[in-house]
Structure 1
Amino acid sequence: MADQAARERALGLVLELVVLLGQDMSKRLEQDHLSDSRAGVLWTIRQQGPMTQRELAAARHVTPRNVTGLVDGLEAAGLVRRTPHPTDRRATLVELTGAGTDIVERLEREQLEFTTLLFDGMPQEQFESLTRGLDEIVGRIKGAL
């Protein structure tokens, strides 16, 4: 078990990492005038496919009203479109447009490049140890929430 000073140092590094990753992501999203929330909507649709706004709200853990505002903004920017639901005439599906897909694909490429920057050259044993440690930390945080 690590001593108190080592634990405090580890926490400080985790917090610094959170800040640095947030700054990097914000910088990347600013290029496309995207907020974290709007980018999250694009990522969700990319990963799960077209969905209703209610499904999108559940997937993003936000209110349907919040999703309406996000989708309105993304639609105005030409990044998503609403289409009639094929089986429920009361609902619409939200899907990516070509421009929305282009942005998400570029962000995916940038994420892959960033992964390479972070982990290339790290010895396999160190990488596996880091991954196990991060899994443990994430699990503890999720368990506490």
Structure 2
Amino acid sequence: MKSLHDMSEGPAPARVSLDGLFELAEVLGALMQRGMAERGLTTARAGVLWALFHDGPMTQRALAARRGVTPRNVTGLLDALQEEGLVAREAHPTDRRATLVSLTGKGRTFTSGLRGGRDDLAAMLFADVPLDQLDVFNALLVQVTERLRDVDPAGGA
């Protein structure tokens, strides 16, 4: 099998692949932005909900680190989410200096709905893709994502 370094004729497959990734990012990003806006969310607020949904309750400081934002920034996000009844803040049970953040029942229901929408989209996009091709696609996505994180470790928080 030829590597990209061996190919000298025609458009470089790597450039074509990167162009495809840019187009995918643009289309998927627009779709996500629309879906979040319809639900009254920003990307940052959705990221907070998603982190709490997947990782469970955590301190504000841990949440800020997980999202790659300042503690002050996460405070503003949590203020808005708490006002909507999606998150709750309470004293940490073992560290009196920390505040523990968790999803409320409404927040879990809301985020489960987001996950359901994601699952429906995944089913629509990949329903007829053979499993072996999907496995290769997923492995390649992991490889490309890791390389991008190596280039920009601060990106993709």
Give the alignment's TM-score, normalised by structure 2.
0.85
Aligned counterpart, 1:77: 84
Structure 1 vs Structure 2: percent identity of aligned residues? 41
Which residue of 105, 124, 128 maps to 2:131? 124
| 1:1-145 mapped onto 2 (5 Å cutoff) | 1-2=3-4, 3=7, 4-145=11-152
Q: Work out the number of aligned pairs and report it.
A: 145
Paired residue secondary structure (2:58): coil
Structure 2 unmatched runs, 5+: 153-157
Paired residue secondary structure (2:119): helix
Deviations 1:73-121 (A, max 9, x none): 1111111111121122222211111221111000111111111112111
Tell me which moved more, 3-12 or 118-127.
3-12
* Structure with the higher helix share, 1 or 2: 1
Paired residue secondary structure (1:33): coil
Structure 1 unmatched runs, 5+: none
Shift of 1:131: 1.9
Whichever residue aligns with residue 135 of structure 1, its letter is: V
Q: What CA RMSD, in Å, does the superposition of the two structures yield over aligned residues? A: 1.4
Give the alignment's TM-score, normalised by structure 1.
0.92
